[in-house]
Chains A and B, each alone.
Chain A
Amino acid sequence: MKIWILRDYSRCVGCRLCEIECSLRHEGLVWPAASRIRIYESVFGFPIPYTCVQCDDYPCVASCPTKALSVAESGAVLVDESSCILCGSCINACPGRIPRMVEGKRAVIICDLCGGNPACVEACESAGFNALRLVRKPGGEVVKAYLNNPVKASEDLARKLCVF
């Protein structure tokens, strides 16, 4: 079954426990820069959780010249570290520029949904914030609504409340 991380901007408090748990799960280190989910808080008090939305058409996978990217049963994009050549094609193909090249990593990083049990969702739930929730993947283009530039999205959210 395809799953999906539903992100609720109105509930996100900006604690970044998701980033920490993601980097601990994937890298065994506290390494926010290597987290597959990131919190953008360009206007303080208005954090935006931002990670791969698993587009129906997977433009990143299609763009990869070495076929290092594939789609898992969960719907997640998997990176084959041995064939990634860090060319950046997937970054340019992604409508949200979500794949990231991190110094010290030999392949691009993309959310892999932790094989079905995402560490970020777990962290957010157990802290009682529930800004991230695991749901069945919604079909269609709607997921791409979460790809607006998060630096701007944070500003927009603030502007709406006459703050920015």
Chain B
Amino acid sequence: MFGFWGKLLDIDLSRGVTRVVDVPEEVFKKFIGGRGLATWVLWRELGSRWELIDPLSPENLLLILTGPLTGYYPGIKIVVSGKSPQSNGVVGSTLSSELGVELKSAGYDGLILRGVSRSPVYIYVDDAGVQIRDATPLWGLGGLKLVKELNRLLYEDVRVERGLDTLPSYIYIGPAGENLVRTSVVMSKLAHAAGYGGYGAVMGSKKVKAIVAKGYGPLPKVSDESGFIKLRKEVLSELSNRMRVFRYWGTTEGLWYTGYVTSSEPVRNWTEEWHDVRTFTHEEVERRCWIRNLWSDWGCPTSCMKVSRVFDGVRSYVTDGPDYEMGAYLGSNLGVFDAVSMVKLSALADELGLCGIQTGNVLGFAIELFERGYLTEADVGCDLRWGNADCIMKVLHDIAYRQGIGAVLAEGTYRAALKLGERAGTDLLKYAVQVKGVAVGAHGIRSGLDYPQKIAYAGSVQGGDHTSTAGRPLKSTESEAFAAFLDSAVICLFNTVDTKKLVDYLNVVTGWGFSEEDVYMGGARILTVQRVLLLLGGPDVFWDPREHDENPERFYEPLTSGPKKGEAPKREEVRKDLISYYEELGWDELGIPREETLSRLGIEELAKEVERIKRRVTPNA
């Protein structure tokens, strides 16, 4: 084996027992690593009872996985997965953390957490194995307070007698994860989050506050050393030179560009996707908030992050850029067009361990309901109107602690819409901009200038995830098979180069000799298993492909402003596109994988699960 160890640490929190699981190279070749490996583990372990498993019960697994390119390819991401409390399927959620390299240096490709701990714990992994440590004093903390406390604790682990060494790396949850909020995240480094999927709540349900790792050894050997050195140099130099402008502004530039130019930015819960507000731009954030203009993660020459800080005389609000997604969702989407307020909201979301996208989406939904009279000041406790940042800040807090209206909104947009709709006696889902329980990322499809694929979200196995969108043709970077490959080899989306070069990179590291065809086939295999588990769904909500493989209603309302005013996708065309896309994947017109597809992909055992979907979706067929 080259590039990975074939070893996972399996930690049973209920019994306090750890074992090392060997994963054969054949599995890696089929499912690559990262998201693919997560899908394989979840299918094997939970597939037979999938519909019955509550994602927040001890039976669910929390997976923290690296991929074969982790540590070799520029940049670092780690995959967090499990049965998602948002979609009830599998979401491969990625975040930047040096934990990936530390785990690999300690001799493991990842962790499986199962069961539930009796009291709050954090997990410490190094070359000597696993320790499950008490985290009672850390419970309830978030942001800088948590970092301060963890730094103090972990400094004792530095073996200073062997020379001064760096602190271990860690990922953690904030109060929102502890309180099982479905829009909570797994965090790292104050401002990075695995947002899609809601895995902060899964980690919280297991009473795990943080996962810490320190590795002392080298990464596994690569298959072709000189090829690796040469290709690495090439890719590094390409990225360093290509990314200069992007490096300077980061994705924060999108606040202006995605709104004014491509007209695909969420504005007031997507009632618009265009704005020309000059106080809501990357320049404004730079001028008023940035205290560091460049910030990178491990091995990354792109350096798209910045450090923002707002100091109000009493305390500091600290976050990164914020990146575009966070900025748009906690800014324009809420009618907050003031850079400073937006940075404060982002910093608070980070501190509480809330996903900026999911929570910004449910907040936008709540404000629209308030403006329309479905929610009142008696429900919320303040005047929840567009742009009222103080009130929004209060509600953000309420969500993290499940207080008042926060208890409903903490269920995420889809489930909150069902509950509030029931109360109001009307359908409120038409205001919920989400797909299969996952709020849509901050890239609209109506203008066609940003995300040209109208099936981007409707056909995705990860719902509204803007980093894993469906598209045609299948064998191109437009398709979700490519996204699945990136999340499985584990490469940052911003650091991709030409596909052939990516495949070469995989080959010099692993020695697999893959062709581009193999990579897309691997991607399709992962998508197929993900699709089946998603359609199994349950136990609280289930998806019907005829109803839920669809854009949010709002995306069919014509744009009301901007260069593409009047544009909206046509339902029949979306449906037609979707069916062609399914056809390419070897799925039927409901998106259920055909039997011959399963055998072509070498996953025949999935037939049992497919059978169960058919029994539910087409009982009379």
Chain A: residues with CB nearer than 8 A to chain B?
Answer: 11, 13-17, 20, 23-24, 27-34, 38-46, 50, 88, 91, 96-104, 108, 126-129, 149-151, 155, 161-164
Contact = CB atoms under 8 A, between A and B. Distances in A.
Contacts, number: 130
B163 interface: yes
Interface in B145-186: 147-148, 151, 155, 160-167
Contact of A31 (B190, B219, B294, B318): B219
The 7 closest A-B pairs by CB, nearest first: A100-B163, A31-B218, A15-B296, A45-B307, A44-B189, A97-B164, A29-B218
B244 interface: yes
Given A13-B303, A103-B127, A97 B160 contact: yes
B291 A38 contact: no
Interface string B203-234: 00000000000011111010001000100000
B215 to A, nearest CB: 7
A100 B161 CA distance: 9
Interface residues of B, number: 52
Contacts of B105: 31-33
B477 interface: no
A27 B294 contact: no
12 contacts: A14-B297, A17-B301, A23-B218, A31-B105, A33-B215, A33-B217, A42-B167, A45-B307, A104-B218, A126-B237, A128-B301, A155-B151
Contacts of B303: 13, 15, 129
Nearest to A30: B219
Nearest to A155: B151
Main secondary structure of the interface of A (DSSP, over half): loop
Contacts of A13: 294-296, 303
Contact of B190 (A16, A44, A98): A44
Q: For A13, A46, A98, which residue has the most chain B Cβ atoms within 10 angstroms?
A: A13
Interface in B221-275: 221, 225, 229, 236-237, 240, 244, 247
B68 interface: no
Contacts of A14: 295-297
Contact of A40 (B147, B160, B166, B237): B166
Contacts of B71: 30
Contacts of A11: 294
Given A29-B221, A30-B71, A32-B101, A164 B307 contact: no
A102 to B, nearest CB: 7
B216 A102 contact: yes
B231 to A, nearest CB: 13
Contacts of A155: 151
Contacts of A150: 164
B55 to A, nearest CB: 29
B190 A45 contact: yes
A101 B218 contact: no
B144 interface: yes
B299 interface: yes
Nearest to B215: A33
B292 interface: yes
A118 B423 CA distance: 68
A149 to B, nearest CB: 7
Contacts of B219: 29-31
B316 A162 contact: yes
Q: For B71, B160, B163, B219, which residue has the most chain A Cβ atoms within 10 angstroms?
A: B163
B298 interface: yes
Contact of A100 (B151, B155, B162, B225): B162
Q: For A27, A44, A150, A163, which residue has the most chain B Cβ atoms within 10 angstroms?
A: A44
B148 to A, nearest CB: 7
B433 interface: no
